[in-house]
Structure 1
Amino acid sequence: MVSDDLRIRHPHGAGIDVHSREHWVAVPASCAPVRPKDHPVHLPAHVRQFGTCTADLELLADWLTECGITTVAMESTGVYWVPLFELLERRGFEVILVDPRQTRQVSGRPKTDILDCQWIQRLHSYGLLAPSFRPSDEVCVLRGYLRQRQMLIGNAARSIQHMQKALEQMNIKLTEAVSDVTGVTGMLILKAILRGERDPKRLAKYRHENCKRTEEQIARALQGNWREEHLFALKQAVKAYEFERRQLKECDAAIENYLKTMEDKSGGEVLEPKPTKGKKTAATAPQFDARNLLFQVSGKDLTLIEGIEQSSALTILSEIGFDMSKWATEKHFTSWLGLCPQHRGSAGKIKNRRLRGGANRAARALRMAAQGCHHAKNAMGAFYRRVQARAGGAKALVATARKIAERVYRLLKYGENYVRQAMNDYENAYRIKLTKGLAKKAAELGYKLVPNAEAASTV
């Protein structure tokens, strides 16, 4: 039942409309001090405009203190909110960050900065704005490092694309001759080309012994048209890639050092190395023991969960933190991640069940973890393939990502020791559940299921 009691819940709450050059602030009319003489005539007394320099932000906080404000709501506009948010929190205000979609003006009303800040303040005063999730300051620092790392990985990937483009324009089929142009063989050949070597047979001599292609095959792929402009583009792309790899190494060192400064929750326990036989280490994998360091700061090993590796565990924990009390249940958690459908209905009918949009980095990492379960011979892999056969790959990916998210939630909130379920155990449990459902349906129709001894072993 919807309550008609719309009461003021934040009588000392302010609203801020954030911009790149100025911030517009509105406080309750009852909290506003006497209008100063230099206050613009067209502005209400309870609305002020401030600049974005640090001195201006200090004046803004001083004015809020003078007005007796205790809580502030602001939109998460770009990154312009970050300095103001941190300063107000440091000054003791309760600051909530709001999704701009929640503060949209009613259709038909005029939209100005003066009206926007008053609208935010009014919605906040009635408690109609839900705060966006923001982890603790300690986790925010880790999150900043990880986002910088992801940006460097993206830049390196673009440099590889530029290298491949320059090679293709010269009809140098290095990408066809080696599996990875940034591997040992590929980089040796590229550096020799940049030093001036053009003879395909000499270039093929740089082939590593583990390379599948023969020297003759590689030499045939390295015959092309050595145009000056394409060589220049190749040179710049290779230098950019090497620079970004050095930057990534520095970033990994900074992440490692920061994790070592965080509180140790492992109780002195050290994890045994995971078996890596037959597994190739990803080029973007952390260049330090992230698994043990994450175990120290969280007290739990997320890599026990199917699909989650060191990189994805780093991303997930840096985005959600270690405190699961922010979400009442795992359903709230998966809803925040955007991994469950939104049931939008009207007149007794469900219009759509689309997923909530948004660029949630933790959800993206969980989807990548789910993708890794596609061919896995475990319970999670069996679940993925079962849903895929029934509903398609896209829905199987989301369903598996949600299942992984539920396990992450339980592991961090309740401290449950995660035990991987074998694929055969999952299949047996599914068979029992399916049999019970069929028996119940048969009983409703007046029939009785009788086991077939010959077919039971093949079901």
Structure 2
Amino acid sequence: MNPVEEFPRIIERGCGLDVHKDTVVASIKGKDIVERTETFGTFTEELEKLIGFLQNEGVSHIAMESTGVYWKPVYYVLEEYFEILLVNARHVKNVPGQKTDKKDSEWIAKLLLSGLLKGSFVPRQGIRELRVLHRHRRKLIHQRTAEKNRLQNILEDANIKLGSVVSDVFGKTGTAIVLAIASGEKDPGKLSELAKGSLVRKKAELKKALYGRITEHHIFMLQLILASMEHINNQIDCIEKRIDKYLNSMRNDVELLLTIPGVSVQIAAGILAEIGNDMVFFPSAKHLASWAGVCPGNNESAGKKYSSKITHGNKYLKTTLVEAAWAASHSKDCLMAAKHKTIAARRGSKKANMAIGHKILTAAYFVLRDKTPYLLSSQNKAIEEQRRLKRIQRLERQLADLKSVYQN
């Protein structure tokens, strides 16, 4: 007998969905209905037929696996009509035996009716759209960085040593020189005259660095790369304007997040895009940290605890938190900066960044949950002073214990 059959029924009528690219297998189970399994297509018209089928049977709850990206359109169509649990595929793994789509959907339905499934976090539509925009912006920035590297490779191929003299090839002077080369200018003397600011004193060095072998091929490639970078910059500008519209609707939450050390407007946008502004989905800050993958996992055997790495979690959120941690580590009069320095001295800067990122995420959780700003710097100083006094008291007790040991 299947052990699930013995569990009490929590939900009266439910449906288990096994989602694929082109089909959705639905199994319904529950009180006063005939257990059935039907297959539907993933076109919107077919999904609307699925809605009618489930409503006619009185189904109130649906459980489905998070299969690649195929679950998304199905979830978005059904979420207005049913209570949906999106579950991790590892949590609904079937018992050993023959595996079919029908058995998978039936097994999911059994677990759903017994209340044995825990839904994953799926943000509301506005947050989902902000998430797509923010992630796409990050990918465009990576593409622009790749184009910059290609441009510098072209300059090196032409033996133009601009990067050896200019600290930033894409600063005012560097950009002006690259644009001049792309327009066909090859004279090192004329190119060095484009120097601005402190680089005016380095015209002689620039002239030597700009003496190379520029061919028509190099000019063509520079024009191509510059056009690509301009196109990417225009896309980034459009996305940032679109992101600002979403942030304006959450202006209070953005301002609260900005009170946390290391958090800028872009960092705040990244945090809101991944976790939203409603912390009701996360029971505690520890649950959020575990979901994000910024806390270590458990690795214990026979009463011994072993070293364990952080979990996979949300890679986009982790990247954002590490950026915030690096910024916080350079802040003045900040407890997080002092903590980063302490951890980095013992375990290295990478682990220190992750630890401070964990603290920033915890702070963001309470800031968004309670709708209150982060502690002010004066309050931070008071807490730091309390910790310093407690440490002095602890060291004095240890010294007193050592004296009593040696005297005896």
TM range (shorter): 0.7 to 0.9
Q: What residue is the counterpart of 2:62 in the other structure?
A: 72
Q: TM-score, normalising length from structure 2? A: 0.87
Unaligned runs of 5+ in 2: none
Q: 2:71 aligns with which of 42, 56, 81?
A: 81
Moved over 6 A (4+): 29-32, 443-446
Cα distance in 2, alignment partners of residues 304 and 148 from structure 1: 26
- C-alpha contact 1:300 1:415 (8 A) present in aligned 2: no
Q: 1:438 aligns with which of 375, 395, 399?
A: 395
Q: What residue is the counterpart of 1:8 in the other structure?
A: 9
- C-alpha contact 2:292 2:314 (8 A) present in aligned 1: no
Q: What residue is the counterpart of 1:266 in the other structure?
A: none
* DSSP-derived class of the 1:27 partner: strand
- C-alpha contact 1:374 1:384 (8 A) present in aligned 2: yes
* DSSP-derived class of the 2:85 partner: strand
Q: What residue is the counterpart of 1:452 in the other structure?
A: none
Distance 1:345 1:126, change over 3 A: farther
User: How far did 1:427 drift?
Assistant: 5.3
Distance 1:188 1:438, change over 3 A: same
Q: Deviations over 1:383-439 (max 9, x none)?
A: 111122233323322221122222212222223332334686565433323233334
Quote the RMSD (CA, aligned, Å).
2.9
User: How far did 1:371 drift?
Assistant: 1.6
User: How far did 1:220 drift?
Assistant: 1.9
Q: What residue is the counterpart of 2:308 in the other structure?
A: 353
Q: 1:317 aligns with which of 243, 249, 272?
A: 272
Q: What residue is the counterpart of 2:263 in the other structure?
A: 308
Q: What residue is the counterpart of 2:323 in the other structure?
A: 368
Count of aligned residue pairs for this structure pair: 400
User: How far did 1:81 drift?
Assistant: 1.8
* DSSP-derived class of the 2:197 partner: coil
* DSSP-derived class of the 1:49 partner: strand
Q: TM-score, normalising length from structure 1? A: 0.78
User: How far did 1:57 drift?
Assistant: 1.4
Distance 1:216 1:104, change over 3 A: farther
* DSSP-derived class of the 1:24 partner: strand
* DSSP-derived class of the 1:237 partner: helix
Distance 1:407 1:236, change over 3 A: same
Q: 1:51 aligns with which of 38, 41, 45?
A: 41
Moved more, 423-432 or 132-141: 423-432
Report 1:389-408 matches (<5 A). 389-408=345-364
Q: What residue is the counterpart of 1:338 in the other structure?
A: 293
Cα distance in 2, alignment partners of residues 109 and 441 from structure 1: 62
Moved more, 307-316 or 437-446: 437-446
Report 1:81-120 matches (<5 A). 81-90=71-80, 92-106=81-95, 108-120=96-108
Cα distance in 2, alignment partners of residues 170 and 116 from structure 1: 61
User: How far did 1:342 drift?
Assistant: 2.0
User: How far did 1:167 drift?
Assistant: 2.1
Report 1:24-43 matches (<5 A). 24-28=25-29
User: How far did 1:307 drift?
Assistant: 0.9
Residue identity in the other structure for 2:25: W
Are residue 208 (structure 1) and residue 196 (structure 2) matched? yes
- C-alpha contact 1:370 1:400 (8 A) present in aligned 2: yes
Distance 1:445 1:315, change over 3 A: same
Cα distance in 1, alignment partners of residues 383 and 30 from structure 2: 62
User: How far did 1:338 drift?
Assistant: 1.8
Report 1:37-436 matches (<5 A). 46-90=36-80, 92-106=81-95, 108-211=96-199, 214-260=202-248, 262=249, 294=250, 296-298=251-253, 300-377=255-332, 378-421=334-377, 428-436=385-393
Moved more, 208-217 or 239-248: 208-217
Q: What residue is the counterpart of 2:19 in the other structure?
A: 18
* DSSP-derived class of the 1:384 partner: helix
- C-alpha contact 1:31 1:68 (8 A) present in aligned 2: no
- C-alpha contact 2:259 2:373 (8 A) present in aligned 1: no
Cα distance in 2, alignment partners of residues 380 and 144 from structure 1: 30
- C-alpha contact 1:89 1:95 (8 A) present in aligned 2: yes
- C-alpha contact 2:135 2:316 (8 A) present in aligned 1: no
Distance 1:435 1:214, change over 3 A: same
Percent of paired sites with the same residue:
33
**Greater per-residue helix proportion:** 2
Cα distance in 2, alignment partners of residues 227 and 102 from structure 1: 60
- C-alpha contact 1:31 1:67 (8 A) present in aligned 2: no
Residue identity in the other structure for 2:360: I
User: How far did 1:335 drift?
Assistant: 2.2
User: How far did 1:101 drift?
Assistant: 2.9
User: How far did 1:244 drift?
Assistant: 0.7
Q: Deviations over 1:70-103 (max 9, x none)?
A: 111222233222211111012x111122223323
Distance 1:346 1:221, change over 3 A: same
Cα distance in 2, alignment partners of residues 404 and 47 from structure 1: 47
Moved more, 46-55 or 303-312: 46-55
- C-alpha contact 2:15 2:29 (8 A) present in aligned 1: yes
Cα distance in 1, alignment partners of residues 42 and 200 from structure 2: 59
Cα distance in 1, alignment partners of residues 185 and 374 from structure 2: 55
* DSSP-derived class of the 1:132 partner: coil
Q: Deviations over 1:308-363 (max 9, x none)?
A: 11110111122222212222222222222222222232322224432221334233
